[in-house]
Structure 1
Amino acid sequence: MSRAVFVLVFDLTLDLNAKAFIDLQSDHRLKNFPKWMVKVSTFLGLNRKCKVYELDMTNLDFIMYWLSSIYAHTKENIQKDGAQTRQLSPPIFFVGTHKNSLPGGKSEKNAKIKEIFDTLRKMLSEKPYEKHIVARFYAIDNSLRNDGAMQELQIHILKVVEEQPYMNEHVPAPWMAFEYALEEKRQENVQWIDMAEASELATRCKVNAAELSTLLQFQHDTGNCVHFVNTAKADDPLNFCIILNQMWLNDIFKSVITIKPPQDQLALFRSSWDKLASEGLLDEKLARHVWREYEIDPNVLFGLMSKFDLLCEMQFPPEESARRLAEETRVFCLPCCLSETIEAPLLVKDGDCTIRFFVDFAGYLPCGLFFRLMVRAICFSQECGGRSGRDQHLSRYSAKFYIDQDHHLFIRIYTKDRSFLEVMVVRVAGDGDYPSPAVCQMIREFLMAALTDICKIWSKGVTFTFGIPCDQCEAETGRLHLHTFDDCIRASRVPCQERRMATERFQRLFVKGFDHVYIQEKKNFHMIQSLVIDLGTEQMRKFFLNQIQISRGDVGRYLINEQHGKFKGVRLFADQKLKMFRIDADITSFDITIMMLLIRHCCGIVCPDKFWTNPDKQDNSELANLVRIREYRNMNLAHHPNSRIPSNEFEDEWKKLTAIFQGVGVPIDDINTYRQIAV
């Protein structure tokens, strides 16, 4: 959003300190505001009486709310030389309308306008978004067709646009030709193209094939298309799809996010609509029904919604997951669809069995950020062993998640100040009267990583810090007073006016080293990771060299010869090509993905596609077990929520991997060597 110009328009006749309202006719806009911000009121004005939605904020607050929203989604740009005294990108113009409707004569009107603008400037002072505000504010006379201020505003906008740092960026001529070609497609009402068509357009526009991926990333970053690349999974459908019309994509998303009124629901899907509103769970058959008129693979749409952190697939046991995939009966969770009326999960009272902390968003928490965090937390909970839908309780502003058999995680928007998230880790069973330090540290790591990533992708201007609530003053004042994690780490007591809060309990759970359980779980993960990646990749290298009958030093020459032979049409990423197709290629630098590509395409092995992801259980051949090693890396290590494995799970996994490696021909003593490594 930095490559934009914003014009914030407001009505000069409205009292800045009065409650803001929205006409009922604008009902479709209310999705932007949570229920606690809105109430229905009666407005008497303009010679008519009408119902309006009154916001729980003043008109001035409302203006600041939209400024915060713009800033939250902005990546700050540095102005070019000579423009340091002007605003940063994106520039924001303030425009007051209905100047003609202000009471009094010209001097009285001007005095009132000055008073309003001075109030706004005072409120903007020292705010993070102040440096984006264009210095001159405009007051527009709505009664004049050719108002002078409006004409000056138009000229000023053009001048400011010309000063933006990206205006003098040099773009290769073939890239511009490609962009024009995409626009021609849009004009032909083409909503998306596949990678083959994009490659054809690139060739026609004289874009080098090697730079097409960079060009598509540039088009994605500048908002000209939507294209995601999954480097970890070359056959991901998203790798081959380029969305040209973002509004069309938005309409597709909106068609499932917006709950249809009962009178518009087909009886066949009524229960699915109810489940979506009450539990936030989307049945695949409902989505396919709603999307039936859009000419695009629903699996691509599910993937895109996942990329946008709007939904996640609910996990079931492997056999049931395979059945649901085949029958198109998967279930997805969309927290943003949850109804306002859903009862929130009951919070456990603060005590020895809980640890409570907060995430402070410095005065502004975007509405959508909490839903995106819920999506990440659902995935995290499922990776921890939570069952599909049954070990979580979601509501629009709070949620409970399964962490392990002894712990739950509560996250909610803090009711007393909605720019905070309240987090509680609760021990619900097991030995001990306080949460496990390993679990507390794991949850903090997850939240830090998830929020950092969400803000980096979706809300670049949002900042956050973790804080511990002060137990010395909150009960007395009723106000939230936080001590930062850093302060609580450094000292055994932190000051609160004349008193001190002890931090020993916090440090015991979050700071003071790792307990023996944590250390063992880290070691368990490292042992399995080393076995799969170190030994597994080496076994693949031996298999490949034995099949091709070449030495390690001849790998580079062999692959160069096969680049346009056996690898013709094989989709490879740029970094893979750089490693493979060179005379000094070093096979020891090839990872599991590259080795499996070599085995599949160079060894003359003919197997059905299904074999390369899920060999038959009865097949105990060396190749089948090598495929199982690759799949274990992809499914169990690449997406693991942390670098720990509980000891009870470790023994089962080690037994499973031992059988696989013995099937490859590795002696048991060589396998068990990897149980002796140190962390």
Structure 2
Amino acid sequence: MGEVIPLRWLKFEKSVAKAIKGGQHYMKLTEIQAMSRDLGIQSDTEVFTMLHFYHDLGTIIYFGGDDNTNRYLQDMVILDPQWLIDIFKRIITVIPCQQQWATLKTKWRRLKEEGILEDCLIDHMWHDLLPQKPALLSLMEMFDLLCPRIDATEGNASQAYYVPACLQPCTDERMNQTLTGNRKNTTFYIDFLGFLPDGLFYRLLVHAARWSQQQSGEEPKLFYRYGNFCLDDEHNFQLKMETTKPVCIKVTISKTPVISPVGMRDRGNIRDAQPDPKASTSVQTFLADALNELTETWIHGIRFEFSIACPCNALHPPSEVSRCYHLIPLEECLNKTKIRCNEQQVWVTTEVFKSWFQETAVDDSLEDTRTISDVELLQLAEEVGIQWKNVGVYLGLKACHIFAINSDYAMTEDKAFNMLIQWRQRLSRVANARHLLGKALMKCNLVSLAEKIQDSVWAVT
């Protein structure tokens, strides 16, 4: 409010309005630069600054710039945001049967029933926009409105996409059995502390579909508020949006069962096994990274934490389970030997939960009892830079605590230092603190910093 802008920018704004009125809804970057020069804007740097200014105001849409390597987005400036919404609507809306071409009816049916959009149908719906198709598809992928589909038979990206807005409820009972049929599954929850928008779940679903296809090359099974993904040859994982209290996402990791050739129809011949802890850790780390990215770049203020269902839920009569069902923070389970359940006034041991994740125990004979001083943490904070949030996630800090630190401090160094101080205060024991911190830095590819911590380079003697 009250910001002073050059008069030539206002002339640019009027030129854009005139172009829209004349039926021009987008321009190439070279056309924008030519128009800007006619208005007295000679510097490309000023052109980019102006485009990002009007993008932030919502007047135009431009995702180009030095930090974006997508050449299609670099070259396209949307003059009319409402036009872009209408173009997207063609993709995510299934038109009535009487308006569908007979030769494409099977494609329309697949989009409606499976949420899979084939490339030939895109060409039909965007027949008047084919030169801009790559840029428009890139925008839809950026907003997680589409996800490229990998052909499991060929292992390559086929000409088809998953469309989250067209997903249907899962009616296959065999899918639901994977969530409840094996007691050896690893199950935890992402608790959103009372508020989980549908849009956030479906964007996470798209991120999971991309990631799982990169990991395994297998197609995911996507449904309304549910997704089943292949992690590797031996593991699958499922995401399910729970709309009853508590509002959360249920995460289930299962090991692919081994079926005996004799009596294959008999469930008793299926040997279930506990998922590998590395698989559970891999899924949790991916989900933490994806949600942190979404909450930082798209929907600010959303808080979440990883949790597990309290074992005392089993103590309630079946009629009261839904009313008394509650969660306990996973972070506490991994850092303590027992935690207190205030609902039933009992202590809950955590050995089982620790066994779900890798490296939950350290050989006491190899304990590193060196403390980490404030000076060392201050030096680390100065060098870790904008990676401090990722380091905090790998150190086990809750997203709500990271969000609070980000809001309370202005300087990046101050944010990083206070994150490290909070982590050190929450440690259940000092032993192996350097190992845990070094491990978190390694996961963020900060190898040199991890080595400095391990070697006590900054320690005051």
Q: TM-score, normalised by structure 1?
A: 0.47
Kindly provide the CA deviation profile for residues 363-405 of structure 1, in whole angstroms up to 9, marking residues without a partner as x: 2211222211111111011110232x3xx22110111000011
> Take 2:325 and 2:217, find their aligned partners in 1: how far apart are those partners?
32
Q: What is the match of residue 386 of structure 1?
A: 217
Decide whether the 8 Å contact of 2:186 with 2:252 is kept in 1: yes
Map residues 548-587 of structure 1 onto 2, 5 A cutoff: none
Q: Name the aligned partner's letter for residue 503 of structure 1.
A: T
Distance change >3 Å, CA 409–CA 184, structure 1 → 2:
same
Q: What's the counterpart of residue 305 of structure 2?
A: 465
The alpha-carbon distance between structure 1 residues 395 and 179, as it changes in their structure 2 partners (threshold 3 A), is same
Aligned-residue offset at 1:202? 2.1
**Contact 1:408–1:425 (8 Å) recurs in 2:** yes
Shift of 1:229: 2.7
State the shift of 1:320 in Å: 7.8
Which of 327, 335, 357 is matched with 2:164 structurally? 335
Aligned to 1:480: 325
Q: Which deviates more, 332-341 or 277-286?
A: 332-341
Distance 1:230 1:375, change over 3 A: farther
| Structure with the greater alpha carbon radius of gyration | 1
Match of 1:199 in 2: 33
CA–CA distance in 2 between the matches of 1:248 and 1:188?
13
Q: Which of 349, 352, 369 lines up with 1:502 in the alignment? A: 349
Summarize deviations over 1:74-109 as a string: whole Å, max 9, x none.
xxxxxxxxxxxxxxxxxxxxxxxxxxxxxxxxxxxx
Tell me the residue number matched to 1:258: 93
Secondary structure of the residue aligned to 2:231 is strand
Structure 2 counterpart of 1:393, which letter?
Answer: K
Structure 1 unmatched ranges of 5 or more: 1-166, 325-329, 516-641, 645-679
Partner residue, 1:408: 236
Residues 418/206 of structure 1: CA separation in 2 closer, same or farther (3 Å cut): farther
Q: Is the 8 A contact 1:353 1:428 kept in 2?
A: no
Which amino acid in structure 2 is aligned with residue 419 of structure 1? Answer: V
Which amino acid in structure 1 is aligned with residue 340 of structure 2? P
Structure 2 contact 155–217 (Cα < 8 Å) conserved = no
Measure how far apart 1:481 and its partner are.
Answer: 1.0
Report the secondary structure of 2:216's partner residue: coil
Structure 1 residues 349, 432: closer, same or farther in 2, change over 3 A?
closer
> What value does the CA root-mean-square deviation take over the aligned residues?
2.9
Shift in alpha-carbon separation, 1:415–1:475, aligned structure 2, 3 A: farther
Quick check: 1:314 aligned with 2:149?
A: yes
> In 2, Cα distance between the equivalents of 1:449 and 1:318?
30
1:514 to 1:335, Cα distance in 2 relative to 1, 3 A: farther
Q: Which runs of 5+ in 2 are unaligned?
A: 259-270, 363-442, 446-461
The one-letter amino acid of 2:283's match is: I
Q: How many residues align?
A: 344
Change over 3 Å in CA distance of 1:494–1:234 after alignment to 2: closer
**Partner in structure 2 of residue 171 of structure 1:** 5
Partner of 1:364: 195
1:270 aligned onto 2:98: no
Distance 1:475 1:271, change over 3 A: farther
Asked if residue 399 in structure 1 is aligned to residue 227 in structure 2, the reply is yes
Distance 1:235 1:399, change over 3 A: closer
Deviations 1:643-667 (A, max 9, x none): 99xxxxxxxxxxxxxxxxxxxxxxx
Write the distance in 2 (CA, Å) between the matches of 1:352 and 1:502.
18
* Displacement of 1:341: 6.8
User: 3-state SS of the aligned residue for 1:310?
Assistant: coil
* Paired amino acid for 1:484: P
Query: Aligned-pair distance for 1:362?
Result: 2.1
In structure 2, C-alpha distance between the alignment counterparts of 1:283 and 1:386, rounded to whole Å: 19
Aligned to 1:428: 256
1: CA distance, partners of 2:152 / 2:224: 28
CA contact 1:230–1:236 (8 Å) conserved in 2 = no
Shift of 1:413: 0.9
Within 5 Å, give how 1:602-617 maps onto structure 2.
none
Contact 2:340–2:347 (8 Å) recurs in 1: yes
Shift of 1:249: 1.0
Change beyond 3 A, Cα 1:489–1:514 = closer
Q: TM-score, normalised by structure 2?
A: 0.68
The equivalent of 1:182 in structure 2 is 16
Q: Identify the range of structure 1 (443-452 vs 347-356) with the bigger mean alpha-carbon deviation.
A: 347-356
Partner residue of 2:458?
A: none
SS in 1 for 2:284: helix
Contact preservation (8 Å) 2:91, 2:125: yes
Alpha-carbon displacement from aligned partner over 1:135-169 (angstroms, at most 9, x marks no partner): xxxxxxxxxxxxxxxxxxxxxxxxxxxxxxxx212
Rounded to whole Å, the distance in 2 between the matches of 1:514 and 1:334 is: 42
Tell me the amino acid that sits aligned with residue 352 of structure 2: R
- The yes-or-no answer on 1:489 pairing with 2:330 is no
Task: Tell me the distance in 1 between the aligned counterparts of 2:180 and 2:170.
Answer: 23
Q: Report deviation, 1:279.
A: 1.5
* In 2, Cα distance between equivalents of 1:288 and 1:419: 39
| Distance of 1:212 and 1:289 partners within structure 2 | 35
